[in-house]
Amino acid sequence: MEQVLRPIYQERASFPETLGVILVEKRVKGDPITDTFDAILLIITEDDKVPVFTKHYMGSSGKAAMHTISEKQLRKWILLGTKRKVVDWLFNGKVYFDRNEFIEKLKIEFPFTGRKIKVGLEFSKLVRAYMEGKNFFEQGNFLDAYNHVVKLLHHLARIAVIEKGLYPEITVWSQVKKIDPAIYKLYEELVMSEEPMEKRLGLLFLASEFFIYNRTADGAEHIMDVMAKQEQWEIQELHEDEELKIYSVDLEVFIEFLVEKGFIEVVPNESKNDLIFHREYKKSLRI
């Protein structure tokens, strides 16, 4: 497949806006990392008019997909962790063109890019999974609670990897087994224990509370830094802040959690109605 694609990536490498060209070939039959294609051609470009542009090819040696991705879009995916397979392509693909060592430099700075934000995002998702899962557990909906505990542990595992200056791979549990055996043990107990599900879940929620407590300060650091920019915030202002938009649907649950833990204070402000107040927020001075 490489020989067939060579004229395409050579042409793309000649474009002045092209920063890098990476080829990813299928490792095993039906390899999901290449989206079932025999090869993926990843083109990174400075041009951000079209963040992602895709073409499919086919020939006697198989089928291939070419993804042209802007540098801006790639960095966004790296920060938010929303396209882990692209990160796999970046680190494990064959680099055929690297203008001014763009790809090499990106790999070096990669573990440190927005680490505080990455931890905050994962922690906000962890908090939602914990709160919703605990609610299902208390209602006796154990299968739904189980599903949320799996999500909770997954976000906890990703935080542990990020804290070590690494990027959570698709096989995150293989990483965590080496990095943080205690978290890996929780996952083992959830999926392999022969205890009744209710008992397993009860123990996992109890253990999760300990891990959440120990990581709350780090998980809240990014949002606390943002809130320090002004004295008080309306909820809409928090939603519209450029740095906090990335929290999306998890933002309000996260804020309420941090209010409960004393990281954020609620400030009542007068409204037109004497019987009700506006609820605003500020960073706690006690933290």
Which ranges constitute the DSSP H helices of the chain? 2-13, 71-80, 84-92, 102-109, 115-138, 142-163, 172-179, 181-192, 197-227, 235-240, 251-260
Q: What is the pLDDT of residue 112?
A: 64
pLDDT digits (tens, 9 = 90+) for 180-201: 999 999 999 999 999 999 999 9
- Asked if 170 and 81 count as a contact pair (C-beta separation under 8 A), the reply is no
- Is the distance from CB of 186 to CB of 153 less than 8 angstroms? yes
Please state, in angstroms and rounded to a whole number, the distance separating the CA atoms of residues 220 and 251: 11
CATH architecture of 2-110: 2-Layer Sandwich (3.30)
Instruction: Tell me the pLDDT tens digit for each residue of 33-54.
Output: 888 899 999 999 999 888 999 9
Predicted local distance difference test score (pLDDT) of residue 199: 95
d(CA 277, CA 20) in angstroms, rounded, equals 55
Q: Would you state the pLDDT for residue 287? A: 63
Positions of the chain with pLDDT lower than 70, given as ranges? 30, 110-113, 169-170, 287
Give the pTM.
0.78
Q: Which CATH architecture has domain 115-283?
A: Up-down Bundle (1.20)
List the domain boundaries for the chain. 2-110, 115-283
Residues of the chain with pLDDT > 70: what percent? Answer: 97
- If one counts every other C-beta atom within 10 angstroms of the C-beta of residue 231, the result is 10
Given this model, what pLDDT does residue 108 score? 77
pLDDT reported for residue 115: 86
pLDDT at 214: 93
